[in-house]
Structure 1
Amino acid sequence: MNPQHLLTFAVVARLKSITLTAQHLNIGQPAVSGQLKLLQTFVGEPLYERKGHQIELTAAGQGLLRYADKMDSCFNQALEYVRNLQKISTGVLRIGATMTIASYYLPKFVVELQTNYEGVQVFMKTLDTAGTLENLYSLDLGFIEGSLHGVELPSNYQIIPWQKDEVVLVLPENHVLITQYTDFVPLEVFTQHQVIWRERSSGGRHVIESALSAAGITAPVNIEVTGVSAVKESVRAGLGIGFSSSLALKNEVKGLVSRRIGPGQGLTWQLNIIAPKPALQSRATKAFLALCMKESTL
């Protein structure tokens, strides 16, 4: 059975006219009559009869109409959904992002997207880089920290350089290092003071560990917490010094102070977006990418 023939049959039954159906569907009358004939041949018994200029359904036609009407209704709903997608007034955006990016970078873009396109639903998962790569096919966009050197993505995905950030030392406001180092702190402080370390999968931790390794410094790990908020609260409570994205401290007004780690530009890292190739992106994905890229620093 050809689904289009069934849809045409539903319109004919509603309008009771082949002429009006042809006008409604913007096709010729012979095309409508041909589709009805093929449908009737497939069924194997009459579905309608002509009474004057109108079409009247037989009992078999009335029975089939119940299903044709359901199909017609679903088709129109699907058509409306697609039209809304085309206007970005509906749809779902699935994002995977590291904890720092999800907490401090993306919220304003999500708010802007839903302000501009109220019907779009956004679901954001907090994942580390490995988790994002493992779940690519269930995400529309992935936001990750650090280098992807040596990582092979599926051919239908791309890496988009997005933001440049700095990993800074986090100190309680009365800590001795604040007066001892006014511009930047040397890497040696990681061996001289108790450090609040992020979880092993943290991109910020990888930056610190790489810098220490390059300098030939081995720092003990005695306290390990999950997330930037845990680092900040541990430092605020006086458990030690910590580190985080500079953006995570941007709105701190009391209790914490940051210092650059090392001279020059300090310890910088790159934030990247993993996205499907443009031809595979939904309109909601394209809209969100456009918002994010307006503030790209790379």
Structure 2
Amino acid sequence: MKISSDQLVAFSVVAELGSVSRAAERLNLSQPTVSSQLRALQEQFGEPLYRRRAHGVELTPAGEGLLPHAHAVAHALRQVGDHIAGVQERPERILRLGVSYSLGRRSYGLVTGGAAQRLQLQLLAGDSTTLAGLVMTGDLDAALVLGPIGMPPGKVDLHQTGEDELVAALPAGHPLADLRYAPLQALREETFLWAGRTSSVRRQSDRLLQEAGLTPHSLELGSLIAVREALLDGHGVALLPREFVQRERDLGLLTTLGLEAPLVGISQLLVTPPAATQGAEHRALSAFLREAGRTRG
């Protein structure tokens, strides 16, 4: 038995409209072509599937039994067509994505995941404030950063994709390593290591220390990556996002302490151009990044 999808689609539309002529119009075929498809289908089936009446076409019991299968084939073909059209409409140009230093370990997954969605991503690492500014000026198509960031209202759109918390990161073997939580006062004699002043992590850490009344000795190392490397070499302490040092903690290379302080949460944000100015490529990138954030969460 050789039944074609065209025959089943024609049968499905005729049954829906109750008319061969109207089905031919919808399918953009001639009426003889549709009639020929129905006739071939009936020959394969071995019994009548419909009867012609004065008011149109009426299905036989055999036709009623076949109809759900014909509808399923027609629906599946429409889905395939929609999928192909969607793939063809997706952007082919390289999309520029900024990724905060603190989220840098996501880079490989973002590039490979984007490729699976036919999104060619070119990544730029940097601090959150700088990356958000590059989205505002159009030099980046989107950025994944840590908040808060100070941007003029209406210049960019911010979408929260997750949340982290600041922890105290200490070299392995530090005297406080056995604690799970500690107040900031417990670190008052330590040398704090900082990223640059444009870092959102640096700004939030400064606020926490100010509220705790601490002005510790500190060293500015320029980036979160440099801070992490110094900690691994056994120097100082730092306030860092938990995700940023989770691997080192799991491997026993660093110790982390939860902070007994208010407002230690830190938002993970997707920064995009304003919705009104976004093209198809921005919308595709934004949808991918939001889904990646939900999947990770």
Taking structure 1 as the reference length, the TM-score comes to 0.61
Whole-angstrom CA distance in 1 between matches of 2:198 and 2:150: 16
d(CA) in 1 for partners of 2:96, 2:207: 32
Conserved? CA contact 2:148–2:267, under 8 Å = yes
Q: 1:152 maps to what in 2?
A: 153
Task: Report if aligned partners of 2:194, 2:224 keep a CA contact under 8 Å in 1.
Answer: no
Query: 2:283 aligns to what SS in structure 1?
Result: helix
Measured in 2, the distance between the counterparts of 1:158 and 1:276 equals 6
Count of matched residue pairs: 207
Task: Determine if the alignment matches structure 1 residue 255 to structure 2 residue 285.
Answer: no
The 2-side partners of 1:229 and 1:130 are apart by: 16
Instruction: Report deviation, 1:114.
Output: 0.9
Q: Which runs of 5+ in 2 are unaligned?
A: 1-84
1:209 is displaced (CA, Å) by 0.8
Q: Which residue of 2 aligns with 1:21?
A: none
Q: Which amino acid aligns with 1:217?
A: L
Shift of 1:93: 0.7
What is residue 30 of structure 1 aligned with on the other side?
A: none
Aligned to 1:112: 113
- SS of aligned partner of 2:157: strand
The one-letter amino acid of 2:208's match is A
In structure 2, what is the equivalent of residue 199 of structure 1?
Answer: 196
Cα–Cα, structure 1 residues 133 and 204, in superposed 2: closer, same or farther, change >3 Å? closer
Residue 241 of structure 1: aligned partner? 237
Query: Aligned residue for 1:127?
Result: 126
Shift of 1:237: 1.4
Q: Say whether the 8 Å CA contact 2:162–2:269 is kept in structure 1.
A: yes
Q: Distance in 1 between matches of 2:254 and 2:203?
A: 23
Residues 168 and 254 of structure 1: CA distance in aligned 2, closer, same or farther (over 3 Å): same
- The answer to whether the 8 Å contact 2:165/2:241 transfers is yes
- Secondary structure in structure 1 of the residue aligned to 2:188: helix
Cα offset, 1:90, TM superposition? 1.6
**Structure 1, unaligned stretches of length 5 or more?**
1-82
For the 8 Å contact 1:86–1:283, the answer to whether it is kept is: no
Which of 96, 99, 110 in structure 2 is aligned with 1:97? Answer: 99
CA distance in 2, matches of 1:116, 1:146: 27
Considering only aligned residues, what root-mean-square deviation do their CA atoms show, in Å? Answer: 2.7
Q: Is the 8 A contact 2:96 2:142 kept in 1?
A: yes
1:73-104 C-alpha deviation (Å, 9 max, x unpaired) = xxxxxxxxxx8984426222112232213x13
- For 1:171, the equivalent position in structure 2 comes to 170
Give the Cα separation in 1 of the matches to 2:281 and 2:91.
9
What are the equivalent positions in structure 2 for 1:4-153 lying under 5 Å apart?
A: 86-88=88-90, 90-101=92-103, 103-117=104-118, 120-135=119-134, 136=136, 137-148=138-149, 151-153=152-154
Find the aligned partners of 2:246 and 2:228 in 1 and give their Cα distance: 12
* Separation of aligned partners in 2, 1:121 and 1:217: 46
In the other structure, the counterpart of 2:61 is: none
